[in-house]
Amino acid sequence: MRTFDLKQIKKFQKVFPELNTTEQLETAMLFSLGLTKKEIATMRDVNYRTVEVMLDNIKKRCQAHSLNTIMTLFQVRLVFFALYGCTVENQ
């Protein structure tokens, strides 16, 4: 079984143009895959509060009202990317 390789994260930058750092993209992707904030902090070797602040910034950048919205947005975009190789235009 293949696993999610964080070294491949830059490939997804076109799918999530709202996020301009690898750290934002990595945090959002891990959260969208269902990892808890604590698990993300451990995996990224940062403290829990850093993950909370990063997710809040991601939520603002994506103009989302909740973290559930972020999760849904990312999952939908990843499915479209996988199926069609689509990119998202930043408006």
In this predicted structure, the answer to whether residue 87 has a pLDDT above a threshold of 70 is no
Which of these CATH numbers, 3.30.390.10, 3.40.50.2020, 3.50.50.60, 1.10.10.10, describes 21-84?
Answer: 1.10.10.10
How many CA within 13 A on the CB side of residue 35? 20
Q: 8-12, 42-46, 47-51, 69-73 — which is least confidently predicted? A: 8-12
Q: Could you tell me the CA-to-CA distances from 55 to 2, 20, 34 in Å, in that order?
A: 26, 14, 13
Q: Where are the beta strands (DSSP E) in 1-91?
A: none
- 15-61 tens-digit pLDDT: 888 888 889 988 998 998 899 999 999 999 999 999 999 999 999 99
Q: Which amino acid is at 23?
A: E
Give the distance from CA 45 to its chain's centroid: 17
What is the torsional sign of CA 51, 75, 2, 17? negative
pTM above 0.75, yes or no: yes
In the chain, where the domains are located: 21-84
Say which residue, 6 or 39, is predicted with more confidence.
39
pLDDT at position 5 is: 60
